[in-house]
Amino acid sequence: MKRVIILVPVFNDWESLKRLLQEINKNIKNFKNIVFDCFIVNDASTIKQPKMEKPDLINLIKIFNMKKNQGHARCNAFGIKFIFEQEEFDNLIVMDGDGEDRPQEIKDLINQSIKDPNKSIVAKRIKRSEGLFFQLLYKFHKLLTLFFTGQNINFGNFTCLTKADVGVLSTRGSLWNSFSGTLKKNIKYFNEINSIRGSRYYGPSKMRFSQLILHSLSIISVFKYQVFFRSLLIFFLISLLNNFIGTLSLILQFLLIIFNFIIFVISLREKKIDLINSQNNLRDIKEI
């Protein structure tokens, strides 16, 4: 019997989580030879957890209550490391708990995994549900990432990972900083499914503009050495154009230096020791 664990971080959004579990339950009913478990990482929520019931088709729900709030990325990093070291499983699905990762696409992830069980699958975003301003920022982020790293990262957390790839990711310090960047850098071959970004179940997004910027730069910082070498090349090319563009060349070179400094500072968030010791932040585990 194949075992799939679904990993979901949550902070205060318990109503969305309850609906997500019901939606997952609806979308796994046709997989007769697969056991689905849900592991919820409670990122030190300040809203009391309501009473929850386990949907009938989900075999097991575990809630990992953390002592200190550290953000979704680090909840996922903790979960990935913990699950690889402590659990027997065949695949790990990582997804957000607010509805933006659509549960109906779990079927596509699993079907693709059945076709090619030796490769992980990412949910490639082909359509988003956010407003125009956010979509423009997202396109700018993708272009900036491609320009400075050479990587086209068109997916987020929503993935279906093989056990072997979970093992690889669980040892990378950059996982503490960026999930998608770490996956792109360390997993050479993976499959894709087309994915539509869903709408939140309840309320507007809680992510601030500053958090979006940090998220984008965190992905880029995983490739800091590529960024540095590409920047050196650009710096040199701008120097050759100094006689033609004058002061503009100095401004562009200054901006390059500032950008690389920011990327370096953000890369310091990649603390492998914190990933190794992430279980120290676990208060308790409750089973539903």
Rounded CA separation 74/178 (Å): 8
Does the domain at 2-130+154-204+271-287 match CATH 3.50.30.30? Answer given as: no
> How is residue 270 annotated by DSSP?
-
Pick the range with the lowest mean pLDDT from 52-56, 102-106, 137-141, 163-167.
137-141
**6: which strand partners?**
38, 93
Rounded CA separation 33/50 (Å): 31
pLDDT of residue 229: 97
Is residue 206 over pLDDT 70? Answer: no
Q: State the average pLDDT over residues 33-49.
A: 96
pLDDT of residue 140: 86
Domain extents for the chain? Answer: 2-130+154-204+271-287, 224-265
Of 48 and 161, which is predicted with more confidence? 161
User: 207 pLDDT band (50/70/90 cuts)?
Assistant: low
Rounded CA separation 84/164 (Å): 9
Beta strands in 43-90 (DSSP E): 60-66
User: 209 pLDDT band (50/70/90 cuts)?
Assistant: low
CA-CA-CA-CA torsion for 247, 251, 254, 258, nearest 10 degrees? 170
pLDDT in tens, 91-120: 999 999 999 999 999 999 999 999 999 999
